Amino acid sequence: QMEQERLKNEQIEEEERVKQTKLQVAEEVKRNRLKTEEKAKAQDTALINARAGMPDDTDGIDEAAEYEAWKVRELARLKRDLAEKHARELEKLEIEKRRNMTDEERAKHDEDLNRKGLKKGNIEKKQMQFMQRYYHKGAFYMDEDTLDKTEKRTGKADVRRKDYSEATEGDRKNMEILPEVMQKRKFGKKGGSKWTHLSKEDTSRGENLFAEGDRIREKGSKR
């Protein structure tokens, strides 16, 4: 009888272990399913935010992948810093080399650079038309890295490299052949001006608003 009770207890313990194992497996499956759903939800949220221009705040979803991505970014940053440092050192050496040159050697070096098209600032400016408007291209996002990245991505020349000295539609006419009275912008219109360009006006005369104010004050002081 004792043997039967021992076998019965072992059977009950075995059934209990099987039950606990099934419960643990079910909990693990449930936990993995919830984790997968949360990851998919976070990815969908990140995609929606990216399309809406919102920053990505889904950190900690896959820490191993994020750490590997950080290592790649850090190595790229170190490589870029080393390349920039090397370029600065080469530039310093080039400057020191030119300082030690004589005038004849410097002129010959400039000729070599001009022949190879490597000398900076050797682009000739075009002659603008009479009374042609001047447009400044701006200084923001005009560095070579930004332009090269855009051209590499689109596969065509960036619009920021266009010639800003070209005449626009309103300036594509020869104002010099017109009579002097018509050599004005918006001639005959309500918003027209009697002034043409600064080089034509004599600004050394006292016929200006400040001189007029002085005369008024002088007249008032004599009373």
pLDDT tens-digit series, residues 14-44? 888 888 888 888 888 888 888 888 888 877 7
Who contacts 61 (Cβ-Cβ below 8 Å, separation ≥6)?
Answer: 38, 39, 42, 43
pLDDT of the residue at 79: 92
Q: How far is the C-alpha of 156 from the C-alpha of 150, rounded, in Å? A: 9
Token readout for 215 is 């005369």
- Indicate the pTM of the whole model: 0.33
The pLDDT tens digits along the chain (223 residues) read 677 787 888 888 888 888 888 888 888 888 888 888 888 887 777 777 666 665 666 666 777 888 888 899 899 999 999 999 998 999 899 889 888 888 888 888 888 877 765 555 555 677 788 888 888 877 777 777 787 888 788 887 777 777 778 888 777 778 888 888 888 877 788 877 777 777 777 666 655 555 555 666 676 676 6
Q: How many Å from the N-terminal Cα to the C-terminal Cα in the chain?
A: 140
Helix ranges (H only) for the chain are 2-52, 63-99, 103-116, 144-154, 209-221
